[in-house]
Structure 1
C-alpha cells in the first residue's frame, strides 16, 4: 500500500492560491455577466492571428488531394489556442487586472465607481489593446 502525504510546515502559506477569491454569490454574478458578454462577444477573436513558432509549423501540416498545407497562424479549434490567447490577454491587461478589469479569454469586463472613472479605464484598456493590435468590435460592446 502506498501512502501519499505532504507534510506542511506549521504556519506555512499554501502553495497554490485561487487567482480570484470571490464569495459564491459574487462568482455567480460574475459568471452571469461574463456569459452575457460572451454571448455578444466583446472583442474579435485573435487566436487565429497568433503566429505559430517556426519550429512548430511542421507539426500542424496537413495534406489533401489539392496539395500540402502548413498553418502559419494558430487555427480555431487548436487545443491550446484559447490558453495562448488567454495568456496574451493576461499579459496585456496585467497592470490593471483586479483593479478595474477582469479578462476571460476574449471577454473583457471593465468596472468603475463612476462615469468619469469608467471613461478613463475604458480609454486605458483600449489603448493597451491597440498597442497589441487587438481591436474591440463596437457592435459587440456593451456600455
Structure 2
C-alpha cells in the first residue's frame, strides 16, 4: 500500500484534481489519480531521453514538475496555461490540452511505473515554457552564466 505520508507537493497535486479527496483515496489504494490538463496547467509530452537532456538545459530555477514513465519512454512536463502557443513549431513536444487526463502518482511515490523526475513541491511552480521550448529547439538553449551563481 502506498505511503500515507502527506507532503505539500502531493497535496498541491490533489488540489489540481476535480475531487482532491478522491485523488488521495486512489493514492492510498496504490492507484494513479486522473488529473485533467487545462484546469491548472497544460501538459507537454516528450520523449524521455530528450527530456532528461532538456531538464539540464532548462535549469533548476525554471523547472517545474516532470512525470516520467520509463517503460513507454515518455515524459510529461507541467507547464502554464497558454504555453501551447510557445510550442507551436516544436515537433518534439506534444501539448495536451483539456479534456486530456494525466494519470499521476503522488509527488512522494513511484507508482504503476511512473514517478516524478522533478517533484511537485507544493508551490505551484511550473516549467517555464520559453526555456522548455528553447531546450527542445534545434541547438537547444543554455541559461546565462549568471543563472549558475
Regarding TM over 0.5, the answer is no
Q: Scaled by the length of structure 2, what TM-score is found?
A: 0.29
Which structure's CA Rg is the greater one?
A: 1
Q: Scaled by the length of structure 1, what TM-score is found?
A: 0.30
The higher-RCO structure (CA 8 Å, 6+ apart) is 2
- By percentage of residues, which structure has more strand? 2
